[in-house]
Amino acid sequence: NLLAPQPEYVRAQHKDIEIFSYFKRSLLEAAEAILGHRGFMQRASQLGILAEVLYLASTLLLDPIKQTLGMQYVGTALCDYSKARQVRRVLVSTNYPKAARMFSPSFVRTVLYIAVRSCTQWFVKKCGNTLRKSSFFSVVSLGEVWEVFEKANLCAFLFSGIYDEIAKRILGLVLIKVERTRNATLAYRWMGYLVLVQLFISTYQIAKQYFLSSLNKQLETQVTVEETQVTSQECPLCMSSLSFPSSTPCGHLFCWNCIFKAVQISPQCPSCRQTCLPQQILQLRNL
């Protein structure tokens, strides 16, 4: 089989993380020595992106066979899946390197892969700050939504065996073998079910958080409107805003002093003429 099995993706990624961590640490130490601690802290995120771009560019753009150091370690290479799926198997070991060159992604697609992989987290963070004013992202951060997409992609990879990264899925890149290896029997489908459960839980939590927040906002808005309506009402007797709102038995609202004086003169509601005694007036303390 020409396509690399799932374990090779995992091994290559693990090795790349190990090598890149050392490369990034060395680059950041050199940058701190040159820029000073203050300048380094101001540009730390940009330097991290630069380190990843340099690592990927120096390994993927300098050879016809597109390989990072992790891919070289496990004997795999990047390829265009639209080309490789037409030839799933090779018969001779020497044909593996030929296939890797033949199905290698174009220079433009490789550059796009480097850009998408390196800048995705930075882009998500910047867009999250911009979209924070919107109703949805004021409750749920864009980073949390992106984590759901990453889990969905991981789940799809564990079931299908290709596209372990969102960048590869967007650009249609997979790993193929550069040398004949023993067929791997290890499968990750059972892990896919676990990730699928996590995906459902994360999606449920985000939806619950959003709907609860929306409900609370609606209730707060309703209470605010009701309070505004009450406080903005005018007393029918003095034509001013209600001062110490008080209610008659029939439910009409007046200022305490106004209605108390009015019923002492005439024991009836000034609005509907229903009988109202002074002792029946109720002052509304909660308004």
What single-letter amino acid sits at 198? Q
Per-residue pLDDT, 184? 53
Is the domain of 84 the same as that of 178?
yes
Q: How many domains does the chain have?
A: 2
Q: Are 123 and 25 contained in the same domain? A: yes
Reported as a single tens digit per residue, the pLDDT across 129-138 is: 777 777 666 6
Q: How far apart are CA 40 and CA 175, in angstroms?
A: 36
Give residue 246's identity as a one-letter amino acid code: S
Residues 87 and 171 in one domain: yes
Instruction: Choose between 53 and 92: higher pLDDT.
Output: 53
What is the pLDDT, as a whole number, of residue 165? 92
- pLDDT bucket at 117, cuts 50 / 70 / 90: very high
Percentage of residues in the chain having pLDDT higher than 70: 88
Q: Which residues pair with 247 in a beta bridge?
A: 253, 282
Q: Is residue 264 situated within a structural domain?
A: yes
Residue 186 banded pLDDT, cuts 50, 70, 90? low
Q: Which domain holds residue 93?
A: 6-141+162-184
Q: Is the pLDDT of residue 174 over 90?
A: yes
Residues 40 and 180 in one domain: yes
- Whether 231 maps to a domain, the answer reads no
User: Quick one: pLDDT at residue 211?
Assistant: 82
- Do 47 and 178 belong to one domain? yes
In this predicted structure, what is the pLDDT of residue 251?
86
Shortest CA distance to 277 belongs to which of 242, 255, 251, 248? 248
Q: Is residue 114 domain-resident?
A: yes
Helical ranges in the chain per DSSP H: 6-42, 44-60, 69-74, 81-84, 95-102, 107-131, 142-160, 166-171, 189-231, 256-265
Same domain for 136 and 249, yes or no, is no
Asked, for residue 131, whether it belongs to a domain, the answer is yes
Residue 234 lies in a domain: no
Asked if the structure places residue 151 within a domain, the reply is no
Mean pLDDT, residues 214-234 taken together:
65
* 116, 42: one domain: yes
- Under 8 Å between Cβ of 209 and 138: no
Average pLDDT over residues 270-275: 88
136 and 37 fall within a common domain: yes
28 assigned to some structural domain: yes
**56 and 169 belong to one structural domain:** yes
Q: Coil, strand, or helix at residue 176? A: strand
**pLDDT by residue (tens digit) across 65-110?**
899 999 999 999 999 988 877 765 655 556 788 888 888 999 999 9
Task: Give the CATH number of the domain where residue 273 resides.
Answer: 3.30.40.10
Tell me whether residue 189 is in a domain. no
pLDDT of 24: 92
DSSP state of 141: -
Mean pLDDT, residues 181-203? 77
Confidence at residue 181, expressed as pLDDT on a 0 to 100 scale: 66
pLDDT of residue 166: 93
Helix axes 6-42, 142-160, angle to 10 degrees: 160
- What is the pLDDT at residue 245? 87
Same domain? 30 vs 171: yes
pLDDT, averaged across the chain: 84
Residue 221 scores a pLDDT above 80: no
Q: Are residues 168 and 36 in the same domain?
A: yes
Same domain? For 273 and 171 the reply is no
pLDDT reported for residue 226: 55
